[in-house]
A and B are shown apart, each in its own frame.
Chain A
Amino acid sequence: MNSITSFFGWFLDPKRRGPLLIAPAIIILLLVNIVPLMWSLGLSFFKFRANQMKPPSFSWFYNYEKMLTKENIWESLQTTGIVVASSVFIQMILGFALAMLFAKKFPLRKIILMLVLTPMMLSYVAVGIFFKLFYEPEFGLLSQFIQIFTGEMYVLLATPAGALLGVIVADAWQWTPFVMLLSLAGLVSVPKYLYEAAEIDRISWWRQFTTITFPYVRSLLLLAVLFRTIETFKIFDLVYILTNGGPGTATETIAVLVYRMAFQYFRTSNSTALGYILIFIVIVLTSLYLYVIKKRESAEI
């Protein structure tokens, strides 16, 4: 009897509670991620092409070196950077603005909110295909709309800038609801009586925003930026469907490049290395970001 209770006691010990709570999550994540990680990381140190019968040969950093010195990598990075920065920026501004719109209770709020949330519920494939339809010079809506003014068909995706814009708009449109939802959850968690006190104190709207609203919303906004940035770096499906990386390589984001390398050119190990370079960049950016946030938080307390 004693040994059984002491066995359970071991589990229920307050000191162990923390680890026990997080253990299941960590275990699953490790299980599912670690082997693929090891495998592909390992592969990046070998020379291997999937369409040749040669066995992989160990080559240290050959892949990485090759990747880092080819110019279109940097071009790719730049493209990816532009897409991520622009799209996330638009999402944050629009998302927060929309959230403020929905933060008040008004009739029909729920229904209208659903309207705005729908874009996020579509798959990348759906968004890609239909935006492609919009952008179609012959019977796409955009072109037809512009034709009213210029009388000529408009091909958005023909120019590098246009293609980028097309991708950015599609992505931002799809994911702004995400930022909106997070912001809304934050806005709505502000206790009502703080606003009442602010009314009594006759505080200006802007002051209310900076001193009451923003501190509550801040952590969620941070979360939004973080996740959207990470996700957008990986963007593939949308770009692939819309422009296939084109025209030329104008919209070839890193993920598209990786795909091409791996499945079009079968430079398997190269692509793995490239993938890890991408991950590395994201890790660096994210850590920098988190570090800055931490510093700010501790400075305030």
Chain B
Amino acid sequence: MRKRAIGEAGWGWTIMAAIVGFIYFFPVLFMILTAFRSRMDTLATPPKWFFSPTLENFYHIFYRSTAGSTEYFATGFHMYFFNSIYIAGVSVLLALIIGTLAAYGFSRYPLKGNDTYLFIILTTRMLPPIIVIIPIFLIFRLTGLAGSYTGIILLYTCFNLPFSIWMMKSFFDELNTEIEDAARMDGSSERSVFFGICIPQVKAGLAATSVFALILTWNEFLFALLLTGKGTRTMPNAMARTIGGEINVDYGLLAAMICFFLVPILLITYVLQNQLLRGVTFGTIKK
């Protein structure tokens, strides 16, 4: 038997994982290919696997002509892109901070109605958007938040809080408090206990929460549709506009947009992977 440290594997494993990964990834691959295909090739039967790639779809993201005319106009796409990044980034960050603090509070200083509070927090996720969309829209209109960054960011933060809280609480619960108590006895302030001891140990939780919250917020469509205005519109909105009617969907253009839109998330997830995969190496023993 080959000798290897526990928890590590070699190329055989890699091959197996690659096959599984590829199969799972296939639909996405198809989509990416579509982005590089011309319209004709996409709808060809039997499927054309070998085609000459074109960048025209990507070009169309930024410049398009209306049907029938040959004039191209800029679509202002970069604005959508920026908005998406800004809004998603801020709201996820907020949800992470507020949520982690709250999770810490729930975990370390449990109140009498702890379970109830947590449950209520959970129920806010259960509301189908359809139901709350109208009243929220009206309120936003009334308070002047419609079309502003503040409003939508506030809303998204609120969407991401329940998961953030539940997830981080789960991680905090698993920590061994002995280390914290020891530090407290040594005179460390609560703040340094929190930042120096607890946070490093829950990095995996922080990473996972960020990834999920980002994905959710990034792709959110319904509320963005109604609550963002001229300057604050996000990507999903832009994508929807290209669909228009259901006939003659420009799959290529859509695929290109999706690919483009995927990139930031892919990057961030790749970066966060380190935190996600880094396990707790020693010290924290589950209670």
Contacts and interface: CB of A to CB of B under 8 A. Distances in A.
Does B associate with A? yes
A32 interface: yes
A173 B129 CA distance: 23
A98 B119 CA distance: 30
A270 B162 CA distance: 28
Interface stretch (A57-65, A82-90, A117-125): A117-125
B204 A189 contact: yes
Contact of B109 (A21, A133, A192, A276): A21
Interface residues of A, number: 100
B51 interface: no
A138 B45 contact: yes
A114 B6 CA distance: 24
Nearest to B251: A133
B86 interface: no
B80 interface: no
Contact of A191 (B211, B258, B261, B285): B285
B24 A106 contact: no
Interface in A126-178: 126, 129-131, 133-134, 138-139, 141, 144, 173, 176, 178
Contacts of A292: none
A15 B127 CA distance: 33
A96 to B, nearest CB: 14
B101 A25 contact: yes
B128 A123 contact: no
A113 B276 CA distance: 11
Interface string A16-58: 0111111011101101110111011000000000000000000
Nearest to B43: A139
A129 B239 CA distance: 11
A181 B109 contact: no
A141 B270 contact: no
Contact of B240 (A125, A216, A236): A125
A286 to B, nearest CB: 7
Interface stretch (A1-9, A71-79, A254-262): A254-262
Contacts of A176: 24
A236 B128 contact: yes
B126 A98 contact: no
B1 to A, nearest CB: 12
Interface in B265-282: 265-266, 269-270, 273, 276-282
A126 B6 CA distance: 40
Given A119-B27, A144-B45, A219-B170, A109 B240 contact: no
Contacts of B277: 109-110, 113, 184, 188
A116 B24 contact: yes
Given A18-B111, A189-B279, 8 more contacts: A26-B121, A115-B25, A123-B221, A130-B251, A130-B255, A173-B27, A193-B282, A230-B126
Closest 6 CB pairs of A and B: A18-B109, A21-B105, A123-B219, A25-B102, A39-B135, A275-B131
Interface of A: 17-22, 24-26, 28-29, 31-33, 35-37, 39-40, 98, 101-110, 112-126, 129-131, 133-134, 138-139, 141, 144, 173, 176, 178, 181-182, 184-185, 188-193, 195-196, 199, 215-216, 219-220, 223, 226-227, 230-231, 233-234, 236-237, 254-255, 258-259, 262, 271-272, 275-276, 278-279, 282-283, 286-287, 290, 294
22 contacts: A17-B105, A17-B109, A18-B105, A21-B109, A36-B131, A39-B135, A101-B17, A103-B7, A106-B9, A107-B14, A110-B273, A113-B21, A113-B277, A114-B270, A116-B24, A118-B25, A118-B262, A123-B221, A134-B27, A182-B208, A275-B128, A278-B128
